A = this chain, B = another copy of it.
Amino acid sequence: MEPFFKIINVDNASRTGVIHLKGININTPCFMPVATQASVKSLDSFELKEIGYKLILSNIYHMAVRPGINYLHKFGGIHKFMNWDGLILTDSGGFQGYSLAHRVKIRNDGIIFKSHLDGKEIYFKPKEVIEYQENIGSNIMMPLDICLPKGSNENKLMEALETTYKWGKESISARTSSSSKLFGIIQGGNNLQLREISAKKMTQLDFDGFAYGGLSVGEDKDLMIQTQISANRLLPEDKPRYLMGIGSPEDLVRSIYNGFDMFDCVLPTRIARNGSLFTNNGRINIFNSKYKNLDKPIVLNCECYSCHNYSVAYIHHLFKAKELLGYRIASIHNLAFLYNLMNEIRQHIKNSDFSEFVNEFLSKYKVPNQKVQQEQKSKWIESKGRIKNKI
């Protein structure tokens, strides 16, 4: 039998590998587009497939709120619902415990959400969260965890970590079969000591892979990288390493350099809908008047559907005219850019020249101002967590 995860090439801390599940092979490192509400915003299943994606992410909190877990179970699962014949990893709702903090109470035995739709109370407990994920047909499940905001104090972090460990154990016991895989989540913020404690405990449990959580909550980039570097030492080599919530090209390149294999983020599609497009030199803002006359694809030689068929000038027009088609063309391009970047990275790891590639890529790729970026992100998270009805 094919193993769930196999490493193919190693280059310093970086690795290429294959995730094998239900007859589908996913080459790692891989990026997973996010279908929060059973739809990768503006795209359909066949467009994702055409780009090359075979593994996407959804979210069990959002699925519980709408259309509902029982609903999806009766319908025949989330794959059938969205007509997706690839794999789906589902996040546990732990991140929403952070991003919707104002609507949330964290208890010793679970997280109480006040639904952001109708205010109804939803009590997520570790066992039930596994049951939910199995019921909707998740291929890779995440256990309920506690994700704390940037700057949380050590006691709180330690406590969250203990609870996450306890919930991890409960999650493993709750599984009814091994056909859906289950990853453990390492927490501890940017406190290296706590990360080490968390990793040591979690990796003793029988998980199929390990994730670093809570590293995309507006932390300082340098600290984040330090924390990432520790992962190589703290996580077992033979299991996939998933860095949650990371999706900018510069972060992906660095994180793969530090030994991570899997990533997800709404960033590529969210910024696409704001007119921000990935190129090899950094992001461009399609609204800029200099693009009005540009009769060229977004990225020369990019073979994505958008670059193959539409000029920058037309996309500029669509955004200025607020035409829905623009958001789709931009989203396809950004997701294809990351897909192709992963291909390229795997090739360089295979050739053992990935560190040269990292240097070259980062020297060309102009990164948006970190402060501005963090402010934007905080605003976004804030807007999602807007207080309507405090529990």
Contact = CB atoms under 8 A, between A and B. Distances in A.
A25 B295 CA distance: 30
B39 A321 contact: yes
A314 B81 contact: yes
A328 interface: yes
Task: Give the interface size bracket for A toward B.
Answer: 35 or more
A89 interface: no
A310 interface: yes
B39 A295 contact: no
A66 B323 CA distance: 12
A8 interface: no
A357 B313 CA distance: 46
A41 interface: yes
Interface in A281-337: 292-293, 295, 309-311, 313-314, 317-318, 320-321, 323-325, 327-329
A104 to B, nearest CB: 21
B317 A83 contact: no
A42 B293 CA distance: 23
Nearest to A43: B325
Given A75-B295, A292-B67, A41 B313 contact: no
Given A37-B323, A323-B39, A313 B44 contact: no
Contacts of A311: 81
Contacts of A205: none
Contact of A37 (B71, B293, B309, B321): B321
Given A39-B318, A81-B314, A317-B66, A46 B309 contact: yes
A42 B42 CA distance: 9
Given A67-B292, A82-B314, A325 B75 contact: no
A74 to B, nearest CB: 8
A38 interface: yes
Contact of A313 (B81, B292, B320): B81
B46 A321 contact: no
Contacts of A310: 83
A313 B67 CA distance: 10
Nearest to A323: B39
Interface in A1-58: 37-39, 41-46
Q: Tell which of A81, A295, A325, A329 has the most Cβ of chain B within 10 Å.
A: A325
A45 to B, nearest CB: 8
Nearest to A74: B293
Of A38, A41, A320, A321, most B-chain CB atoms within 10 Å: A321
Interface string A53-78: 00000000000001100010011100
Interface in A99-158: none
A21 B46 CA distance: 34
A323 B81 contact: no
Contact of A327 (B37, B83, B324): B324
Interface of A: 37-39, 41-46, 66-67, 71, 74-76, 81-83, 292-293, 295, 309-311, 313-314, 317-318, 320-321, 323-325, 327-329
27 contacts: A37-B321, A37-B323, A38-B314, A38-B317, A39-B321, A39-B325, A41-B323, A41-B324, A41-B325, A44-B309, A44-B325, A44-B329, A46-B309, A66-B321, A67-B292, A71-B292, A74-B293, A75-B293, A75-B295, A75-B313, A76-B295, A81-B311, A81-B313, A81-B314, A324-B324, A324-B327, A328-B328
Given A38-B321, A44-B325, 12 more contacts: A38-B317, A39-B318, A44-B328, A45-B309, A46-B309, A66-B320, A66-B321, A75-B293, A75-B295, A75-B313, A83-B310, A324-B324
